[in-house]
Structure 1
Amino acid sequence: MPRHLSPSKGPRRLPVPPQNPPFDDELGITPQRAPAPPTGGATEHALQGTLPLSVTTSRRSARTRPGRPGAAGPPGGRATGPAEPQHWCARFAVWAVEALYGQRALSQLLRWTSSDVYASLSERAVRRRVSAAATPSVRSLRVCDVRPQVFEAAVVIQEGPRARALAMRFEMRDRRWLCTALDLV
């Protein structure tokens, strides 16, 4: 007697969990305590307190990878920069895509872009209509050190079912990262 098999249903698609890079608080980074303010005297109320800006990193993030020159911070390199390139680049890429889709004001990127990049972004933003697309998230990020104060990055942004790629170049100017080239694919 022949055995009847049920028809196969084929492959199924399962949702993929978000793959955003971890933020500082998820890596176990704890801020150092500021020294105690001076007590007594008339200047105690006249001075404004400052927030501590130095942080200690966990052992996990302090590891260096083989084949990555200067991962521990080259002398005269990016150690003086305001933010780590990976974190800065991931955030900037999301901001740029949000600005292109009308979810963020493009003028918020003015300080962080060169005049050429800002003009290119504003031309693209005018051509796009405002959409209620899903919030963009970083799917993958690759950073390459060109020189101590310059890096280039390739970022894949996931926005709902669509993925976009960005190629960016950042240079340190006036103690902040400035996007000097941006190409959206």
Structure 2
Amino acid sequence: MNSIAVFCGSSNGASEVYVESAREFGIELAKRGITLVYGGASVGVMGAVADAVLSEGGQVIGIMPSFLEQREIAHEGLTKLIVVDSMHERKAKMAELADGFVALPGGPGTLEEFFEVFTWAQIGLHQKPCGLLNINNYFDPLLELFQHMTTEAFLQEKYRDMAIVESMPNRLLDRFHTYQAPTIKTYA
């Protein structure tokens, strides 16, 4: 695995644990020689993970739409910053460059980005692992919703289980290396 796209918040969240765990994740990426592909901001959880990778000598590629470049405060120390025209281009470029996807805590944008690549995996557009770093049990309500979707027959169990969920960065990345994509969803 050469690169991982990370979706996460451009704010710090309500607890220091989010920023601290993002740093731990960034350090683990750098230790493993995995390039971080992310939204390009210098602030919030996004900035923390990027700063940690860079502080350990790792590679970081930021992808940011031009209209967010000033608003999100583009990170000036990245290995590479790619400026695109739209959010759609941002997500497409991140998906193109990444060998896997991880969501750290964030808001609706984080979930939207994660759900898009998760859905793409479900319908067979890629076979890359999709994970949730469940810092401070942040994603527990989402995991309950996944179970509810499965119980109500809107999400097959094999696709629910496709989401790799761990609270420790090393365990999440270890599971990424052994990931086997489920069979492609059919409607017959």
Name the TM-score, length of structure 1 as normaliser.
Answer: 0.26
Higher-Rg structure is: 1
Name the TM-score, length of structure 2 as normaliser.
Answer: 0.26
Question: Would you tell me which structure has more strand in proportion to its own residues?
Answer: 1
Question: Would you tell me which structure has more helix in proportion to its own residues?
Answer: 2
The structure with higher relative contact order (CA 8 Å, sep 6+) is: 2
